[in-house]
Chain A
Amino acid sequence: MPAKAKSTPKKAVKSGASLRLYRSLRRIRRVEEEIARLYPSDKIKSPVHLSIGQEGIAVGVCDALEARDAVSGTYRGHATYLAKGGSLAAMMAELYGKDTGCARGKGGSMHLIDMEAKVLGTSAVVGTTVPVAVGYALAQKRLKTGAVVACFLGDGATEEGCFAESLNFAALHKLPVVFVCENNGFAIHEPLSKRWATDRLCARVATYGIPAKRFADSDTAAIRKHVERALLKMRKGGGPIFIECLTWRWREHVGPGEDYDAGFRSKAMLAKWQKKDPVAKAAKAVSAKQRAAIDAEIEAEIAAAIAFAEASPFPSPEELGTDVYA
């Protein structure tokens, strides 16, 4: 290793980031496709809310974060968890209800956590994690860790009272929070048009004194760049930011399949969003050779994680009563 590796050539940085983004996006996509493939076997003992199609947001944001930074995710949280470095094997074991799961079989897919990777626990009650993330950020400020919190939430969460309360408090105390709204247009099956008087979400948020920006295409690299730049100011006490990332849930609300036959949303929209597929887009930025190598690694890791989950023991019945209290 050269003694003075001060500056890396710009192209190499770009190529490094491209590889990272592709690896992360492809990995999450393949993990969730495998979950969907395994689901009919009934080995996975947990309702799953797949983020297939939405991965670019979590990957873009998390790539801009440092190890000390935390993320707070939703029940559709596989992508957030994996993008921040949560253990894949522990996640898969959790889905199987095994003792080696990240929540020891007591959480399931909707309550993923990996505090070592700074993934705060996800929640099944929409919006509940938003103030918790803000409180975690308050502690980072008080403890002077320099860390920030990326708080992921869906469009539905913005309708909860605690969302407005949390924005106000975070702005008032200039807390280091990146609010990330993954707006996929539906709360379970209800479209925005039946829930919002106007779609000017960023304008609403901006009235709290929080810089807000909408990403209509949710381009992974654009999100990453925006967050990376915003963090420079945020780490100096600049206060929270908000981004609204429009996206599309390719699959049904919960479960492995699709729901286009139900008639509440059109397959034409899916086709439109599949043209913006973040994984395919990231794949173009890396060479076929690099892609092949990364893909092989990912397949091996997923196979190992599934094998780990299948081989792991279930918790013993005595575990029912542990960890009710600390």
Chain B
Amino acid sequence: MSTPKPPPTPKLAWPGRVEDGRRVLKYVDALSEAVALEMARDENVFLFGLDVDDHKAIQGSTRGLLDRFGPARVFTTPLSEDAMTGVAIGAAMAGMRPIHVHIRMDFLMLCMNQLVNIAAKARYMYGGQIKVPLVVRTIIGKSWGQGAQHSQGLHSMFMHVPGLKVCAPSNAHDAKGALIAAIRDDNPVVFVEHRLLYATEAFVAEAPYVVAPGRARVCRFGRDVTIVGVSNMVVEALRAADLLKEAGVAAEVIDPIWLAPLDSDTIVESVRRTRKLVIVDNGWSMCGAGAEIAARVAEACAGEGPLQIQRLGFAPTPCPPSPPLEAAFYPNPATIAAAAYKLARPDAPAWMPDAAKAELAYQLQFKGPF
């Protein structure tokens, strides 16, 4: 009789695919890999939220976690976003590290009281006696008629409140590293994902690593104009930079990654060289992330010579589902490129790239629902 083999230890890392000897992983898988690694490392980490444990696994982003860590650490909730946020805060005050998941950012409006009045202030108004290590994972929707209540990018509301941190990663590498950083952070972090980024791929190391708060990344160097993108708009800005290159304009593209704390130094340093700044927000411009970035740059560069700033963002309307209306609602590579061109070449005639060239591969591939 042979000794029975012990069951294989479940692998925490997703396989992905290998390119140039390095692993390529999708954004959606990078999210669940980050959580799996942290749950394995720290037993105080748990993940909960409506539908995190069902067969669709929050559009794949919690896939595998229930099997690996069991129902005590991966569980669904009643439709009680307000109280569930309070529950997460209370558990965090007791030393645990909850990750509260919302399939759409719009639902965070139901959590505002707890996030703004308790989570953000507890450390301060309780004189440093407690901390709230909480991650709120949330997804911005877009396309396939998501409509007014499944598409909002509301990150600036949270940037406004001292005590909260806000992160909006634009690629799989940052999604993994920033989520690990958020889970290890001793403060409440609103972690803003974008549905259209879920299928995008990047090189992602298998080992845990952090993409630390308050450090922006220069994604592309250029001397003519600085473009700052937020969340999914980083991808659109990079495509705009390609279009601009064809028109002879070299755009520098910056991804803040973390919106609070915001690394405005990196942006200011770039604008000091280009004197021209386009901010493309994945939200409304009014009191938005772009307004904050523009103000900081204007304050930092005051008296240093001419400065041109242009904000782009959602049209000042609710988001419509009908395709032609929705297309006009969002900035896209063509409108971004045209705005940047106008700043970079003020004396040249207005230029708009071919609309067909502005379409992104994932926009063509993406099919609903969600």
Interface residues of A (CB under 8 A from B): 101-107, 111, 113-115, 120-121, 123, 125, 128-140, 142-143, 161-162, 165-166, 168-169, 172, 322-326
Contact in complex: A131, B77 (CB < 8 Å): no
* B 123-143 binary contact with A (CB < 8 Å = 1; else 0): 111111111110000000000
List 15 A–B pairs whose Cβ atoms lie within 8 Å, in order of A's numbering.
A102-B129, A103-B125, A104-B127, A105-B127, A107-B125, A107-B127, A138-B87, A139-B94, A139-B96, A143-B94, A162-B113, A165-B78, A165-B80, A323-B124, A324-B123
With A132-B89, A169-B78, A325-B123 given, can you name 6 additional A-B contacts, CB distance below 8 Å?
A: A106-B127, A132-B114, A133-B90, A140-B94, A162-B82, A169-B84
Contact in complex: B77, A169 (CB < 8 Å): yes
Contacts of A107 in B (CB 8 A): 125-127
CB of B187 within 8 Å of the partner chain: yes
**Which of B78, B85, B127, B129 has the largest count of A CB atoms less than 10 A from its CB?**
B127
Q: Please tell me which one of the listed residues B83, B88, B118, B163 contacts residue A165 in the complex, with CB atoms under 8 A apart.
A: B83
A243, chain B: closest CB distance, angstroms: 20
A136 vs B83: C-alpha distance in the bound complex, in angstroms? 12
Given A135-B94, A325-B163, is A115 in contact with B130 using a C-beta cutoff of 8 Å?
yes
Q: Please tell me which one of the listed residues A104, A128, A135, A136 contacts residue B113 in the complex, with CB atoms under 8 A apart.
A: A128
Contacts of A166 in B (CB 8 A): 80, 83, 86-87
**Which of B80, B125, B163 has the largest count of A CB atoms less than 10 A from its CB?**
B125
Contacts of B88 in A (CB 8 A): 135
A136 vs B88: C-alpha distance in the bound complex, in angstroms? 8
- Among all A-B residue pairs, the 3 with the closest Cβ atoms: A135-B90, A131-B86, A165-B83
Q: Please tell me which one of the listed residues B95, B113, B114, B187 contacts residue A139 in the complex, with CB atoms under 8 A apart.
A: B95
- Chain B residue at minimum C-beta to C-beta distance from A94: B127
Given A169-B78, A172-B78, A326-B131, is A135 in contact with B86 using a C-beta cutoff of 8 Å?
yes
Contact in complex: A115, B129 (CB < 8 Å): yes
B214, chain A: closest CB distance, angstroms: 11
Contact in complex: A121, B78 (CB < 8 Å): no
Contact in complex: B128, A128 (CB < 8 Å): no
B9, chain A: closest CB distance, angstroms: 23
B164, chain A: closest CB distance, angstroms: 9
Contacts of A140 in B (CB 8 A): 94
Given A123-B118, A131-B90, A135-B86, is A323 in contact with B128 using a C-beta cutoff of 8 Å?
yes
CB of B348 within 8 Å of the partner chain: no
Given A111-B126, A120-B93, A135-B89, is A125 in contact with B113 using a C-beta cutoff of 8 Å?
yes
A323 vs B117: C-alpha distance in the bound complex, in angstroms? 16
- Chain B residue at minimum C-beta to C-beta distance from A72: B90
- Chain A residue at minimum C-beta to C-beta distance from B72: A142
A221 vs B199: C-alpha distance in the bound complex, in angstroms? 63
A326 vs B123: C-alpha distance in the bound complex, in angstroms? 7
A135 vs B87: C-alpha distance in the bound complex, in angstroms? 4
- Chain A residue at minimum C-beta to C-beta distance from B164: A325
